[in-house]
């Protein structure tokens, strides 16, 4: 029998991860909790529900302080909610770099989160719907650097820039303008900070930061799933 299972809703369905102590044995995704559990090779008596419980108000420890679930984070001003899977990725990142302080940009589905990390806590956040807007407007995966720089310098012209890109059929420019506007609004989070990006490839935010000569390391959510589960499981005694 498997040691324990992490189970929760994710952007692509319900994800179940079978764990043996701190080792990830397998993971499956299905349309429901029942289907996800049935698709695992072995059952388990202990289940950690990802996303269960009241979100922890920022500032908050990244590792949970007990309980049978892993809630996400919330923030009163500006209003924000960060999903529990993102919290899990943060735990995985810090398990590999325990004394790391700085800002992590984490993309989960249609939302881009900028999260200030210090002394093992998520201190504050600023989130954007940029990925959703890129998808809704038919943007390209990779941004045009000139368009990105233009909107970074003049974010007040974003709507006009988007219309011009749409008329020209330049979808890379459209993506570049949206990411440039996000970077302008999030400048206080990345300027002069140690920055890391957690995103699936091609991670356009990472490319945009590097174009601004901002050093940043990039990891995928899959890179951090196993170490995040191991860190949380150890904290909760699973």
Q: What are the pLDDT digits (tens) for 124-150? A: 999 999 999 999 999 999 899 999 999
Q: What is the pLDDT of residue 93?
A: 97
- Among 161, 182, 183, CA closest to 172: 161
Please, what is the average pLDDT of the chain?
Answer: 94
E strands, the chain, where?
4-10, 13-20, 23-30, 46-50, 56-57, 60-61, 69-70, 73-75, 80-82, 102-108, 111-118, 121-128, 195-198, 216-219
Q: pLDDT by residue (tens digit) across 219-228?
A: 999 999 999 9
Alpha carbons 233 and 238: distance in angstroms, whole number? 5
The pLDDT of residue 43 is: 84
Mean pLDDT (whole number) for 34-60: 92
Query: Quick one: tokens of 70?
Result: 């892993």
**Rounded (10°) CA dihedral 223, 188, 163, 197:** -10
| pLDDT for the residue numbered 42 | 84
Taking 90 as the threshold, does the pLDDT of residue 44 lie above it?
A: no
Question: Which residue intervals of the chain bear CATH 3.30.420.310?
Answer: 51-238
For the chain, what's the residue count?
238
| CB of 73 closer than 8 Å to CB of 87 | yes
pLDDT tens digit sequence for 174-219: 999 999 999 999 999 999 999 999 999 999 999 899 888 998 999 9
CB atoms within 10 A of CB 17: 25
Determine the pLDDT at residue 117. Answer: 97
127: which strand partners? 113
Q: What confidence score (pLDDT) does residue 12 get?
A: 84
115 has a pLDDT exceeding 80: yes
Q: What is the C-alpha radius of gyration for the chain, rounded to an integer number of angstroms?
A: 19
Question: 2 pLDDT band (50/70/90 cuts)?
Answer: low
Mean pLDDT of 70-80: 97
* The predicted structure's pLDDT at residue 113: 98
pLDDT at 1 over 60: no
Are the C-beta atoms of residues 65 and 46 closer than 8 Å to each other? Answer: no
Confidence of residue 66 (pLDDT cuts 50, 70, 90): confident
Q: What is the mean pLDDT of residues 86-102?
A: 95
Contacts of 84 (CB under 8 A, 6+ apart): 8, 50, 51, 52, 70, 71, 72
Class for the domain spanning 51-238 = alpha beta
Q: Is the pLDDT of residue 14 over 70?
A: yes
pLDDT of residue 153: 93
Find out whether 179 and 187 touch, Cβ atoms under 8 Å. Answer: no
**What does the alpha-carbon distance between residue 107 and residue 19 come to, in Å, rounded to a whole number?**
25
> What is the distance between the alpha carbons of residues 37 and 30, in angstroms, rounded to a whole number?
9
Q: Which of 120, 110, 113, 118 is nearest to 65 (CA)?
A: 120
81 contacts: CB under 8 Å, gap ≥ 6: 55, 72, 73, 74, 75
Residue entry with tokens 């990891």:
219
């Amino acid at each position: 029998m498997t040691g324990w299972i992490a189970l929760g809703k994710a952007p692509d369905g319900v994800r179940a991860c079978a764990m043996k102590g701190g080792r990830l044995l397998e993971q499956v995704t299905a349309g429901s909790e029942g289907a996800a559990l049935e698709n695992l090779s072995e059952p388990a008596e202990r289940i950690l529900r990802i996303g269960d419980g009241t979100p922890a108000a920022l500032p908050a420890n990244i590792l949970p302080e007990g309980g049978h679930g892993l809630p996400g984070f919330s923030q009163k001003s500006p209003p924000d909610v960060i999903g529990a899977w993102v919290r899990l990725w943060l735990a995985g990142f810090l398990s590999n770099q325990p004394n790391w302080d700085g800002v992590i940009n984490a993309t989960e589905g249609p939302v881009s989160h900028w999260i200030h990390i210090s002394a093992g806590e998520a201190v504050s956040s600023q989130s954007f719907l940029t990925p959703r807007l890129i998808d809704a407007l038919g943007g390209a995966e990779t941004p045009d650097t000139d368009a990105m720089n233009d909107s970074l310098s003049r974010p007040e012209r974003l709507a006009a820039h988007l219309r011009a890109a749409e008329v020209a059929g330049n979808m890379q420019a459209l993506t570049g303008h949206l990411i440039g506007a996000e970077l302008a609004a999030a400048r206080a989070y990345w300027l002069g900070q140690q920055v890391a990006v957690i995103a699936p490839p091609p991670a356009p935010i990472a490319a945009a930061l590097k174009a601004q000569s901002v050093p940043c390391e990039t990891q995928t959510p899959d890179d951090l799933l196993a170490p995040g589960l191991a860190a949380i499981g150890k904290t909760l005694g699973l």
